[in-house]
Structure 1
């Protein structure tokens, strides 16, 4: 029992510090929060953020290719972070996930899927069909 406990302590020291980070996706309602290792590369954080975003069923739908996105740190600067740098090297915990700019240099817009509610006539007819119970 002592040997197993000792191995667990060594594994946690090798893994490094763990950080709770917030990743705000441009066009989404709020940030995604998850725990990462301090030495984890930025590309892995982007991948984890996209998987968490999809698992939560958030909109707009982004896709799963982490090469189409960049991670920015508003506190450090507006430039995209290098995908091979470690996330703990910046000293911050709040990041922003954006689509990579298109070939013309303009940022790619994230489109929201629209829900179709029909015409106003359909809504009106449905509202008239509501049964109101009388006393």
Structure 2
């Protein structure tokens, strides 16, 4: 009996606190839910989210490069979370996964597309709400 208790205590310390989190992808049917260690970094959570999303066969197809995405916490502000921040330090369990927006930059030799560092999912969301449906 003593041996079994000792093993349980070691396992509990090794895994740390685990959190059930929800990650919503704009345009998808619903949130992805999975359990993570609170000491996981945001970059690992983004990677796990993309893998779960693809495994479930959800649409729209996002791709698998986690560097093309940012994770937001809708309740804490409009800034994307740092990829090296731990997920438990945010203090919430609901997140939003967004693709980094592309912006068109005009150069001297033509037009090129570059990635913008932090996108605003709120601007996109507000814009989509402003679309009016015409009735006959």
Tell me the equivalent position of 2:70.
Answer: 70
- Structure number, greater radius of gyration: 1
Distance in 1 between residues matched to 2:14 and 2:33, nearest whole Å: 23
- Judging changes above 3 Å, is the alpha-carbon distance between structure 1 residues 104 and 39 closer, same or farther for their aligned structure 2 residues? closer
**Structure 1: 5+ residue runs without aligned partners?**
108-135
**Structure 2: 5+ residue runs without aligned partners?**
103-113, 120-136
Tell me the equivalent position of 2:7.
Answer: 7
Tell me the equivalent position of 1:85.
Answer: 85
Tell me the equivalent position of 1:129.
Answer: none
- Contact kept, 8 Å, 2:70 with 2:97, in 1: the verdict is yes
Distance in 2 between residues matched to 1:13 and 1:49, nearest whole Å: 25
Shift of 1:8: 3.5
TM-score (norm 2): 0.72
- Contact kept, 8 Å, 2:26 with 2:97, in 1: the verdict is yes
Question: Helix, strand or coil for the counterpart of 2:78?
Answer: strand
Shift of 1:6: 1.8
TM-score (norm 1): 0.73
How many residues get paired?
A: 107
Shift of 1:2: 4.5
Tell me the equivalent position of 1:28.
Answer: 28
Question: Helix, strand or coil for the counterpart of 1:28?
Answer: coil
Distance in 2 between residues matched to 1:101 and 1:5, nearest whole Å: 51
Shift of 1:14: 2.7
- Contact kept, 8 Å, 2:72 with 2:80, in 1: the verdict is yes
